[in-house]
Structure 1
């Protein structure tokens, strides 16, 4: 721990410094691998690589290009793109130019993108393609400070009469400008990096607002330098690792992973296409991968549905193996906590070995076969799903953090991980639990504040550095944190009982293999209800086996047999709940919730107010005629 303390205390002012140090240390090591279309135009993607030295060459050209465009220290450069190698190159280049990245999700609509670019006073926008460029074109009148748009993928790019001269240029043209400047001023990028201060603005990330406009979270150069050192200090990452990176880099979790990689120096395989994850895993063979809980839920539901489709015998074997996995994980984790050894009784070990041969090894192979651990963050993982994967040998290390804390402030430690907790604080972080149960955090990774909103900043950030997370949690005697719910999401029934909806929702996700999303409602009511959205592929497989084959998703959801099937899982759920937590009524939604309709954030978190507002009529139906206490 003293070495870790030294590592953190002696950190440089920015990740840009760490990046140049990494390039100098291992110039010829493979830094990134990424897919490109097959040269023949047909067949699977081909994979190309960049060494750290090659990465630095492109970063320097882009950084110098930004300098040539007139970008000054701390001025904002917007970055609107999916996860791809150019996102990473552009972000490092922005930092190395001394500027600050404003991240935008590619799904962001033109109105909100315009607000973010205007509020951040972004001078340049790096846009993935003509779709992202068009958003800026459509709102150009509202963006007088946006002097250039740089387009990465120029397919379909044409000049428009309304474009000011030189307003749009390609990434290749930007790099050419950078090359020309570097010939005149070869030291310009190193000069910009050398001038960086720890408290300079590095990143503006706008939180997904459930109501009103999002807030810009100001993260300094030091936030990322600290994060890089702390993540390696936890022994979470090593130079030998292979990371599969598909998470949206506009999200703070993805940004933190980039910082950690620079310090560790390992290979990162980059492909943001979510529909390629299952196909890519056996090719990439990662040693670690970060994800959000929704992906693990999908994998679990997919495995369960496949087993069910294989017939009654296969499904019984799966259910038995799943129960063995959970029991084995709970017992071994408990024994490790007490004795330091992950042991289980002989009979359980024998059952676990049989289940491994029949079920678990196939699941591990689907993850590529080399997976050391997965890091889960962004939302709560249902403990029963966590225990299932722990028993299978896919170790999910849950972490916890917020945009305002530069991503992970807690993570589970390696072998000593405890499913259902988010682990221990990263080195250099402090935590305390307020009288009302709220989790408060203090550390070098805390934000400067909300951009241009000092009154909002003082609501959550105390003068002595303590940040109010808005989450309710419990600390164990040995420092493991368990998040029980969002402070504002706690339900108080009209009978005065408190219900943590996320806890009930997580239990249901572990029981029902067809659920995609569930929202428990009951504030100021005398009983709890639920809105349930089902996962289309496994649901339609179930439908085909139950006389509903050929029907649409909406038709299957409306069928009495589907209602009866889900009701069975709700009854199972209620058996394990306190009376006031039980779901008395539920409604199936006609479609799944999604980002496009604004019901989920880009990191797949449920926007409760949006969903409750949209489906108010269904909620009202569930309480129609009920006597409220």
Structure 2
């Protein structure tokens, strides 16, 4: 091959720009052929070695790298004062808990102001109309509107201090956040209201907090509050502010009972005409009174301070630093209720970094379309939704070959996860998971699940398929949102992480349930700057939750694992959450179902990984046979318990009684098992005081309970 031809070949095949100068050509005639041949061979070898070196260098640069955890994953928490039952985060230098991360952010108001300095005219709050792209309100606009609205509230008689409570009764939307920030701008306190509380509970809240002004999104919600004013049940209510348009009839009706009604725009214009300088809050000031829906009795108002909020969000920021910092370009989707602290803490964290929050349209059936349009990088989620995503993915794989491929791809991705590698650009992502990831917009960097436990199987599967970090946290309203959080780099499942830097967590003995702290098990107790001040005007229930040393008693039972993480294993009180986050008081439900004619005894069971209740029913032998005969079924008690038609009839009767007694749909059992033998002291299912031994009943009927939950059609 001629040298010039070789150069051209090299140029065309490798794509290198090699010059073929006149000087090169002048050398060719005098060069011996053997020299040219040797030169060609050596150059080819060099080219091959160069290509190999380039490929090796490319692989070294682009190969997946494991995430560097912020601490030793085998020692994620440290014993306080040498006591292994009481632990704090390994990220702390000593036992001093974290109160704030940034020196200039000591309140929720400060955190938004920091985001305002970072982002300025950059996008802050997003919303959309059906089938339209997202529209954005800038940080500057949000701050200006909050200033106007806060001034308008003052013009309507609200006081700029933390004794002034303002109600918000609305779905997630930008006006919710603007109203909240308006309150914080003048040191006022937000009191969220929500539909599932029920009108009776909302009247209780209005009166307990002495709320005179409520901001609503829709006329219908304002009407429901007005009706209580008309009935004399909400005497303090004097002003309703509505986001949307309202009818003249409603306006006249409100005037007739001395309630003023304003559009949000009118109140902001009033503020413009009476603009006041901000009166920012202090860390010790109340920010929110968050009423828990509860399960028995009236709702309790957890008093959350600005210091609580900042310590909690700062702790998450501390955990994520270096490995998964929140960035200005990050986007979160807002659909979880703003009336609960979980969603609020997420948004405060986003605002602190000048990031964006896009709101769903208000219709949960359109959520996936909103997500696909918004393309969020951060996805706050609850286990129930993750379970649905998991079921939908598995349900969409119908052919045996695709099922085998999916299982293999998941295993390969899980193997990477176990070594600390999290990515969405592997071969398996491109071949198998790309459509799944595209459903979520294709930009997810991380997600956070909380509110209820999640199955380790589901969590590991979705970490692999979504190709993003999925953190798990644990907490409750009374500790602002979270007290534990999974550590970056630890992608094991079956625990809720180590204590947040703002909290010390310990377990204490529960002798009645055979849980002892010396074994690393017991009731979970939390102390630190994230723990609430107490329940509003309720010293008795405050004393039940907070002991004299400031420890919050959660009512949950935890177990310390060898690596310093916490596992939730039981519930001290017979109150639990379903997977969608609804609290259940089984004994209250059991007392209702006891009114059913055929029911002698009943045990209502719920699983925090499931979305519905099941029951074990012991029929009353004195009436059961005749009751069944009236429905055309004959037999002894044992035979009747095995009859599916009889079971269906009992279930129908129970649902009717439950509905009449006011049980909500999620409080109704969806399936039951009929058991012919009564619970007794002799068989170990009743205590000497004839109370159900719930742990033992659950253990004895575990097989039947699992069988009922295996019916996916419920």
Pairwise TM-score range, normalised by the shorter structure = 0.7 to 0.9
Which residue does 1:293 correspond to in 2?
383
Aligned residues of 1:325 and 1:388 also touching (Cα < 8 A): no
Which residue does 1:320 correspond to in 2?
404
Q: Which entry has the higher C-alpha Rg, 1 or 2?
A: 2
1:147 paired with 2:243, answer no
Distance 1:6 1:100, change over 3 A: closer
Which residue does 2:449 correspond to in 1?
376
Listed as ranges, the matches of 1:393-432 within 5 Å are 393-432=467-506
Aligned residues of 1:111 and 1:139 also touching (Cα < 8 A): no
Distance 1:112 1:49, change over 3 A: same
1:307 paired with 2:380, answer no
Which residue does 2:145 correspond to in 1?
58
Cα deviation, 1:562-584, whole Å, max 9, x if unaligned, reads: x9xxxxxxxxxxxxxxxxxxxxx
CA apart distance, 1:501: 6.7
Aligned residues of 1:438 and 1:469 also touching (Cα < 8 A): yes
Aligned residues of 1:485 and 1:500 also touching (Cα < 8 A): no
CA apart distance, 1:173: 0.9
Return 164-173 or 399-408, whichever deviates more. 164-173
CA apart distance, 1:48: 1.3
Distance 1:521 1:382, change over 3 A: farther
Which residue does 2:529 correspond to in 1?
444
CA apart distance, 1:213: 1.1
Distance 1:448 1:431 in 2: 17
Distance 1:198 1:467 in 2: 20
Distance 1:411 1:500 in 2: 31
Listed as ranges, the matches of 1:146-225 within 5 Å are 146-156=237-247, 158-163=250-255, 164=257, 167-182=260-275, 185=276, 188-189=277-278, 192-193=279-280, 196-225=281-310
Give the 3-state SS of the residue equivalent to 2:554 in structure 1. Answer: strand
Distance 2:189 2:282 in 1: 12
Which residue does 1:241 correspond to in 2?
330
Aligned residues of 2:371 and 2:441 also touching (Cα < 8 A): yes
Distance 2:415 2:678 in 1: 44
Distance 1:162 1:418 in 2: 56
Give the 3-state SS of the residue equivalent to 1:160 in structure 2. Answer: helix
CA apart distance, 1:587: 11
Distance 1:439 1:627 in 2: 31
Give the unaligned 5+ runs of structure 2. 1-90, 511-521, 577-585, 587-602, 619-642, 684-714
Distance 1:203 1:381 in 2: 28
Aligned residue among 358, 376, 379 for 1:269: 358
Distance 1:288 1:9 in 2: 22
Cα deviation, 1:380-405, whole Å, max 9, x if unaligned, reads: 11111112112212542111110101
CA apart distance, 1:415: 2.9
Which residue does 1:49 correspond to in 2?
136
* Number of residue pairs matched by the alignment: 509
Distance 1:447 1:11 in 2: 22
Compute the TM-score of the two structures, normalised by the length of structure 1.
0.73
CA RMSD, Structure 1 to Structure 2 (Å): 3.6
- Which structure has more relative contact order (CA 8 Å, sep 6+)? It is 2
Which residue does 1:348 correspond to in 2?
none
Aligned residues of 1:386 and 1:420 also touching (Cα < 8 A): no
Which residue does 2:612 correspond to in 1?
517
Which residue does 1:362 correspond to in 2?
435
CA apart distance, 1:301: 1.9
Aligned residues of 2:604 and 2:614 also touching (Cα < 8 A): no
Distance 1:521 1:489 in 2: 16
Give the unaligned 5+ runs of structure 1. 38-43, 309-313, 344-351, 493-498, 510-515, 524-558, 564-584, 601-605
Distance 1:413 1:588 in 2: 48
CA apart distance, 1:105: 1.2
Which residue does 1:30 correspond to in 2?
123
